Amino acid sequence: MALTAISLDIGTKRIGVAVASLITRFPRPLTTLTNDEDIVASIRQVIETEDAGIVVAGLPRGLDGQETAQTSYAREFVAKLQADISLPFFFQDEALTSVRAEQELKARGGSYERSAIDALAAVYILEDYLEEAARTL
C-alpha cells in the first residue's frame, strides 16, 4: 500500500509538485515540471518514484470563490490524468498559495526562480489537504 501523496500546482506552463508521507504528514517541495506534451508521462514517473497512493490537485478559483478559466483548465487537466493514471485524485482549494509561496521566498532573502514558487505552492496545497483530511477523521 502506497503511503505517500503528491500534490500538483497546475499551470499552463509549469506544474509544481510536492510530496508527503501520509503518516508523518510533512509536505516538502519536490520539483517543477514543464507542462508540455510529455507531462502525463512525467507525472506518472513522479508517482512511481515516490510510490504515491493519491494525487491532490490545486483548484484555483476567483477571489470570491467563483469558477474561472483556470478552474476549468485544472479540472480538464486532472480528467486527462485520471484517464491514464488509476489513483484517487482529490481537488484542494489553492486560494492564494502562490502569493504565500512568493512572500515566503522573498522573506528568506536571496534570489529564486518562478519554479520555486510553483513547488512551494504545491506544498501549501498538500498541507491544506492533509489538515482538512485530519479534521474529518
Fold of 4-135: Nucleotidyltransferase; domain 5 (3.30.420)
Most confident of 7-21, 95-109, 121-135: 7-21
The pTM assigned to this predicted structure is: 0.89
CA angle 68, 73, 78 (to 5 degrees): 130
Predicted pLDDT at 1: 61
Query: What pLDDT does 94 receive?
Result: 87
Q: What are phi and psi for residue 119, nearest 5 degrees?
A: -70, -40
Q: Are 66 and 95 in contact (CB under 8 A)?
A: no
Q: pLDDT tens-digit profile of 98-107?
A: 778 888 888 8
Question: What values do phi and psi take at 94, rounded to 5?
Answer: -110, 25
